[in-house]
Amino acid sequence: MGLAAVRERVKKVQDANKFASEMTSIIAVSKMQNISRITNVLDEGHRCFGENRVQEASNKWPALFKIYDGIELHLIGPLQTNKARQAMSLFQAIHSVDRPKLSNTIARLAQETGNCPDIFIQINTGYEPQKAGILPSDADPFIKECRSLDLPLKGLMCIPPEQEAPAKHFKLLVTIAEANGLSGLSMGMSGDFETAVAFGATYVRIGSAIFGSRLPEEAQ
Ligand SMILES: *Cc1c(COP(=O)(O)O)cnc(C)c1O
């Protein structure tokens, strides 16, 4: 599909849906992509990227920061507390805050360094046991807790169950966000971003539709 086509589709859905946000940012998810694919997208003028692993991101991006100005990097995958410090110096936003131990660690490091990325709480909208995220029934108190830690909490993130229609999960995320006065909605991937935009996504996280299929390690 490519970046230009994705942009066009996002715009089309925005124009056609009254619940769509006027500002939907496209996070180009560059995990498991090689440098030449990434620089192609940078050379198209795009600056907003996502990675799901701290280690992989820290291998790839510092060199690109030296060549391209204004890159904004989002962490969209699980974060271990022992990688939090590294993540906070590399990413402008963390979309995967999903437990008190992590929010407490981030808050402590933010106090220490005076720097904190934008925070999104991941919600496990499908109550999937194997999936990360705060359960919807636990969301309100966890959001309050994050606020009491003075974290720059911007919104919520979800990954709908693979086998289900995504709409009801996006809708649930919107409901929880509205009930808590949060405007950021990180939802929608290559297969379902148009639905997510129609429901008001402010960030869509799109990998394969922009870059092509992810590559095996030896080809990255
Ligand atoms: C990999 C990934 C994406 C992008 O997936 P595509 O289907 O390639 O668009 C989005 N969100 C998260 C959390 C991911 O890990």
Decide the pairing of beta strands 72-75 and 93-97.
parallel
Looking at the domain assignment, is residue 218 inside a domain?
Answer: no
Model pLDDT, residue 56:
97
Task: State whether the beta carbon of 76 lies less than 6 angstroms from ligand 1.
Answer: yes
Which residues constitute the domain of residue 128?
3-210
Number of structural domains (the chain) is 1
Would 204 be classed as within a structural domain?
yes
* Ligand 1 atom closest to 52 (CA): 15
Q: What's residue 139's pLDDT?
A: 98
- Of ligand 1's atoms, which has the minimum distance to the CA of residue 189? 9
Residue 207, ligand 1, Cβ within 6 A: yes
Q: What is the CA radius of gyration of the chain?
A: 17
Under 8 Å between Cβ of 219 and 36: no
- What is the CATH number for 52? 3.20.20.10
Q: List the pLDDT tens digit at each of the 220 positions of the chain.
A: 999 999 999 999 999 999 999 999 999 999 999 999 999 999 999 999 999 999 999 999 999 999 999 999 999 999 999 999 999 999 999 999 999 999 999 999 999 999 999 999 999 999 999 999 999 999 999 999 999 999 999 999 999 999 999 999 999 999 999 999 999 999 999 999 999 999 999 999 999 999 999 988 888 8
204 lines ligand 1 (CB under 6 A): no
Confidence at residue 218, expressed as pLDDT on a 0 to 100 scale: 83
The number of beta carbons lying within 10 Å of the beta carbon of residue 161 is 15
What is the torsion angle, in degrees rounded to the nearest 10, for the CA atoms of residue 94, residue 83, residue 40 and residue 214? -100
DSSP string, the chain: --HHHHHHHHHHHHHH-TTS-S--EEEEE-TT--HHHHHHHHHTT--EEEES-HHHHHHHHHHHHHHSTT-EEEE-S---GGGHHHHHHH-SEEEEE-SHHHHHHHHHHHHHHS---EEEEEB-TT--TTS-SB-GGGHHHHHHHHHHTT--EEEEE----TTS-SHHHHHHHHHHHHHTT--EEE---TTTHHHHHHTT-SEEEESHHHH-SPPPGGG-
- Centroid of ligand 1 to alpha carbon of 111 (angstroms): 31
| Ligand 1 atom closest to 214 (CA) | 8
What pLDDT sits at residue 215? 87
Contact by Cβ (8 Å): 42, 64: yes
Ligand 1 contact, 196 CB (< 6 A): no
Structure confidence at residue 32 (pLDDT): 96
pLDDT score, position 219 = 82
| pLDDT of the residue at 117 | 98
Whether 215 is covered by a domain: the verdict is: no
Residue nearest atom 7 of ligand 1, based on CA coordinates: 190
94 Cβ inside 6 Å of ligand 1: no
- State the pTM of this model: 0.97
Evaluate whether residue 220 is within a structural domain.
no
Name residues whose C-beta falls within 8 Å of residue 12's C-beta, 6 or more positions apart in sequence.
Answer: none
C-alpha 180/C-alpha 193 separation (Å) is 24
Query: Residue 164 domain-assigned?
Result: yes
150 is a domain residue: yes
**pLDDT value of position 182:** 98
CA 131, 134, 135: angle at the middle one, nearest 5? 85
